[in-house]
Structure 1
Amino acid sequence: MALTASKTLNYLTTQFTTRSLYSLLFVVAPLLIALAALCIGRYVVPPDHVLGILLSKILPLDPFWKPVEETVVFNIRLPRVILAMFIGAGLAVAGAAFQGLFGNPLVSPHILGVSSGAGFGAALSILIFRHMAFVPLGALIFGVMAMIVALWISRRNGQSSLFMLILAGVITAALFEAMLSLIKYLADPDDTLPTIVYWLMGSLTSANWSMLSWGLPLIFIGLSILYMLRWRLNILSLSDIEARALGVNLNRMRWIVILAATLITAASVSLAGIVGWVGLVIPHIARMIVGANHQAMIPASISLGAGYLLLVDTVARTATSAEIPLSILTAVIGAPFFAWLLKSTKGGWA
């Protein structure tokens, strides 16, 4: 009996230590990557200067840094770092929620055609107004519209099944991609078309405090909803009878998850263009580290998604003289990793 109690105590101690270590890593790693991102660039700023600039906004410090360093760190790099972390975390959590909702490891946040709708809205805004200031609004409006169209298509006799919703998403995405192709065909090939193509490939170049003031609250709302519902996401795999026995309205919870994840996706695409693979790959990595329990997987996805996209964006703006679009790097990294994942797990998914 004493031996069994000792083994149990050792097991619990090991589990607690492992969880504590993971929790510490998930908090510290994105912060260290953010500090490195604020330092690295064509104009290198020492880490102590970066910390001093950031602390000077809340503490009365005597400047020991150059004014140009403060401009680079606070006005140029910091909004971009914050935006990258929010979009990475948001897409990762939206992907994890959709994968749990549909019970399919190949599902990504773009499943309902939201990205295609937002891409069309951005391209239409560029074509009509010829100014990037209207692009985020157009992308957000048509991203939400794409979700509404997908929901309308999937309704049948007042009901909407998950299978019908996936098919409706495919139809909606195809429709908006066709209209996007029409916009590209009509666009001026010497001026408007390159702008549309570059924006669709994803970039955080236009990040600024004004953009963050309206875009981040939308992502934060969706993230907060999914985070608060993380333990209920485990119930989505249950049948309606089992869910009702646990006192959960499964149908209502599914729609809340869909709306929250769609809000994150539409806001992210409106801020940075179409950034692929983050919402598909990061939940798998989180699942491999902490398991399939969404109570642990959602916080892990937030940390991993924020750190991953921030790292990719740092490489995108520093690797070459011309900035590399985000979707190129996320695909170059994500596709080989996903192929390795499929080979190593033989297509299985817990």
Structure 2
Amino acid sequence: MAVKNESGKMDRIVIYALLIALPVFLFFISFMMGRYPVAPVDVIKTILSPFIPSLAVSPQVTSIVFNIRLPRIIAALVVGASLAVAGASFQGIFQNPLVSPDLLGVSQGAGFGAAVAILLNMGNFFIQLSAFVFGIISVAITYVISKSYRAGGILLLVLSGTAVSAFFNALVSGAKFMADPYDKLPQIVYWLMGSLSSVNFDKLAMIVIPLIIGIAVIMILRWHLNVLSMGDEEAQSLGLNPNNLRILIITACTLVTSAAVSISGIIGWVGLVVPHMTRIIVGPDHKILLPASLSIGASFLLLIDNISRTAISIEVPIGILTAIIGVPIFLYLLRKGYSEWS
């Protein structure tokens, strides 16, 4: 028995080490990939050059590494981690493996906010701000609708989210109908397909505080998710208020998802596929599942983004690739891990 316990402990240590090493490895590799390949030695020298001024680095390589690829790589890591953590949290709260971060309408609301800003000819800052604000507004509307009924509960919250999502989808369609087909419409469509091509440090700076607050709240409360996933009666018997906990975690997930979507556009399947993948690797315990989802989500989206900008001569919107790659992976994982939710 002691030998088996030691073996299990070693397996966990190896898994945790890999979860830490994977995003770090992909972070480094991503600098080398693109229209202008950069050698590994040049990447290392460029990254170290601010700390060791004596290193001889080409200005062109410095510009590519720091001004073009670094903000995009950070954005892919951040967006992937955020969507995966939000997805794992929602699946735990609603006790449903088919739940994703856009369940309550946040992505559709953000899409409408971005479309309105594009129609009004606003700059990138206001497009991002509008997407973020409308993402939060859509979830707030969902919550208010669900609470306006006496028998409000999880099911009614989900149904309200479905209705609000459909409403904002209709508004987005109306915005596309009104848009100039030669100017505004392509911008709206491209934003809705998801892309990290226009990300810079200014855009990243806008989402730092919401992401830190949201992810910190989720991570602090991840132990409570285990109790919530067992049902309200179990939570109440342990002295917890399930409704207040659920509202707090949903608010944190909404903040994180809105911030992520505001810089990337609508990227589907990450928040649905990654929690399944992670659950099969580390198990259903949320105190381990959420940090592991953060690592795998960041790595998954960074890998997809690398493919999107190098696979063919033109960049493929990342939302298209996450669907093409995510759907078969999800179907396989659902078949493999279905027993855990049965």
TM-score after normalising by structure 1: 0.94
Distance in 2 (alpha carbons) for counterparts of 1:224 and 1:111 = 21
Give the aligned partner of residue 81 of structure 1: 73
Q: Distance in 1 between matches of 2:338 and 2:259?
A: 35
Note closer, same or farther for the CA distance 1:239–1:330 as it changes in structure 2 (3 Å cut).
closer
Match of 1:40 in 2: 33
The 1-side partners of 2:80 and 2:187 are apart by 23
Corresponding position of 2:284: 292
- Alignment partner for residue 97 of structure 1, among 84, 89, 104? 89
What does residue 342 of structure 1 align with? 334
CA distance in 2, matches of 1:347, 1:198: 38
Report what 1:272 is aligned to.
Answer: 264
- 1:123–1:293 CA distance, 2 compared to 1 (3 A): same
SS in 2 for 1:188: coil
Report what 2:133 is aligned to.
141
Task: Report the counterpart of residue 199 of structure 1 in structure 2.
Answer: 191
Contact 1:113–1:147 at 8 Å: present in 2 too?
Answer: yes
Q: Counterparts of 1:346 and 1:27 in 2: how far apart (Å)? A: 27
Shift, 1:268, TM fit: 1.0
Residue in 2 aligned with 1:225? 217
Deviation, 1:340, is 2.1
Q: How far did 1:346 drift?
A: 5.7
Provide the C-alpha distance between the structure 1 equivalents of 2:277 and 2:234, rounded to a whole number of angstroms.
29
Change (3 A) 1:264 1:106: same
Letter in 1 for 2:261: V
Offset of residue 42 of structure 1: 1.2
The alpha-carbon deviation at position 56 of structure 1 amounts to: 2.7
Structural mapping, 1:108-147, within 5 Å: 108-147=100-139
Give, as a single letter, the amino acid of the residue that structure 1 aligns with 2:305.
D
Q: Is the 8 A contact 1:90 1:302 kept in 2?
A: yes
Superposed counterparts of 1:20-35, under 5 Å: 20-35=13-28
Letter aligned with residue 261 of structure 1: C
Q: Which moved more, 1:109-118 or 1:338-347?
A: 338-347
Cα deviation for residue 119 of structure 1 reads 0.1
1:72 alignment partner in structure 2: 64
- Paired residue secondary structure (1:185): helix
Q: Whole-Å Cα distance in 2 between the matches of residues 347 and 187 of structure 1? A: 47
CA distance in 2, matches of 1:342, 1:157: 34
* Residues 224-263 of structure 1 aligned to structure 2 (within 5 Å): 224-263=216-255
The yes-or-no answer on 1:17 pairing with 2:7 is no
Q: 2: distance between equivalents of 1:225 and 1:100?
A: 15
Counterpart of 1:42, as a letter, is R
Q: Distance in 2 between matches of 1:168 and 1:207?
A: 33
Q: Secondary structure at the match of 1:129?
A: coil
Structure 2 residues without counterparts, runs of 5 or longer = none
**How many percent identity over aligned positions?**
45
For residues 102 and 119 of structure 2, what CA distance do their matches in structure 1 show?
A: 24
Aligned-residue RMSD, C-alpha: 1.5
Q: Tell me how far 1:246 sits from its aligned partner.
A: 1.8
Distance 2:210 2:333 in 1: 32
Q: Determine the C-alpha separation between the residues in 2 that align with 1:144 and 1:271.
A: 15
Letter in 2 for 1:190: Y
TM superposition shift of 1:347: 7.3
In the alignment, the residues of structure 2 paired with residue 240 and residue 167 of structure 1 have an alpha-carbon distance, to the nearest angstrom, of 19
CA shift, 1:320, in A, is 1.4
Report the Cα distance in structure 1 between the residues aligned to 2:275 and 2:129, rounded to whole angstroms: 28
Q: Is residue 309 of structure 1 aligned with residue 314 of structure 2? A: no
Alignment partner, residue 3 of structure 1: none
- Give deviations 1:157-179, integer Å, cap 9, x for gaps: 57741111000100100111111
Q: Aligned ranges for residues 314-325 of structure 1 at < 5 Å?
A: 314-325=306-317
Decide which of 47, 63, 66 is 1:54's aligned counterpart.
47
CA shift, 1:141, in A, is: 1.1
The CA distance in 2 between the partners of 1:175 and 1:272, in whole Å, is 22
Deviation track 1:205-226 (CA, whole Å, cap 9, x = no partner) reads 1111111111132222211111
Count of matched residue positions in the alignment of Structure 1 and Structure 2: 342
Letter in 2 for 1:275: I
The answer (yes or no) to whether the contact 2:276–2:334 under 8 Å persists in 1 is: no
Indicate the residue corresponding to 1:185 in structure 2.
Answer: 177
Note if contact 1:130-1:192 (Cα within 8 Å) is conserved in structure 2: no
8 A Cα contact 2:91 2:97, kept in partner: yes
Amino acid at match of 2:252: A
Q: Which amino acid aligns with 2:39?
A: P
